[in-house]
Homo-oligomer: A and B are copies of this chain.
Amino acid sequence: MIRLLLAEDQGMMRGALALLLGMEHDMEVVAQVGRGDEIVDAALLSRPDVALLDIELPGRSGLDAAADLRTEAPDCRVLILTTFGRPGYLRRAMEAGAAGFLVKDGPVEELAASIRQVLRGETVIDPALAAAALSAGPNPLTARERDALAAAVDGATVADIASALHLSESTVRNYLSSAIGKTGTRNRMEAVRAARRQGWL
C-alpha cells in the first residue's frame, strides 16, 4: 500500500483528490492538511511514502515545507502539485529535493501514474516546463530586491515598504528601480507581475 499525504488549501479539491486516490487499489491517503505549517507534523505522525504538496498554502510555502521534509522525513518523497507552472517554482522545487512537479491542468489519470513513477525513484516533470525553466535562467534578483518587490505587491507606498523592511526610503527606491531594470519593465507593478510569472517572488 502506498501511503499518501495531501496538502492542498482548497477544501473541495483536497476532498476530491483524496477520494479519487483512495479508490486506487494500491493507495491510501493517510493524512490531509490545508495549511503549509501542518505538513511536517502530519508527515512525522503518519509516515507517508509520498507527499503531494501544493505550493501556495497559508502558513508556509509548499516549497519550504518540501525542504523541511528533506531533513525531517528523508524517506518521504515529495511531489509538487501546483496551479502555476512557473519556471522559478520548478527550479526551487528541484533545489528543495522534490521528486516531481505536476501542474493542475492535464488529466487526473496523470496523477496516480506519476505517484507510482516517483515511488520507483524516477523524476517526473513536464518536458515543456523543464525547457522553459532552463531557458529562463536563474533568478537575477538579490534577496533585498525580492523583499522590496514582495512588499510592494498590494499597492504599498515606498514609505510603507521602508518601514516594513526597516530601511530608508531612498534605499527602497533604489532596490525597486534595479528590480524594474532587471525585469525589463516600466514600473513597480509590471516588475511585480513579471517576477511572479517567473516564480521569483
Show the binding face of A for B, using Cβ within 8 Å.
10-13, 15-17, 19-20, 81, 83, 104-111, 154-155, 157, 185-193
A-B contact pairs, 27 of them (CB 8 A): A10-B83, A10-B105, A11-B105, A11-B107, A11-B108, A12-B81, A12-B105, A12-B108, A12-B110, A12-B111, A13-B13, A13-B16, A15-B107, A15-B108, A16-B16, A16-B20, A16-B108, A19-B108, A154-B189, A154-B193, A155-B185, A155-B189, A155-B190, A155-B192, A155-B193, A157-B186, A157-B187
- A19 surroundings in chain B (CB, below 8 A): 20, 108
Q: A19-B20, A20-B20, A108-B19 are in contact. Are A187 and B12 (CB under 8 A)?
A: no
CB pair A12–B104 under 8 Å, yes or no, is yes
Q: Contacts A13-B16, A19-B20 given; 16 further ones with Cβ under 8 A? A: A10-B83, A12-B13, A12-B17, A12-B105, A12-B106, A12-B107, A12-B111, A13-B13, A13-B104, A15-B107, A16-B17, A19-B108, A155-B187, A155-B189, A155-B191, A157-B187
CB pair A11–B192 under 8 Å, yes or no, is no
CB distance from A91 to the nearest CB of B (A): 22
- How many copies, total? 2
Which residue on chain B has the smallest CB distance to residue A152? Answer: B189
Q: Which 4 A-B pairs have the closest CB atoms?
A: A155-B189, A155-B190, A15-B108, A16-B16
- A83 surroundings in chain B (CB, below 8 A): 10
* Cα of A17 to Cα of B17 in the assembled complex, Å: 9
Which residue on chain B has the smallest CB distance to residue A185? Answer: B155
Which residue on chain B has the smallest CB distance to residue A109? Answer: B15
Which residue on chain B has the smallest CB distance to residue A108? Answer: B15
- A191 surroundings in chain B (CB, below 8 A): 155
* Cα of A192 to Cα of B13 in the assembled complex, Å: 28
Which residue on chain B has the smallest CB distance to residue A21? Answer: B16
Of the candidates B11, B108, B109, B188, the one whose C-beta lies within 8 Å of that of A155 is B188
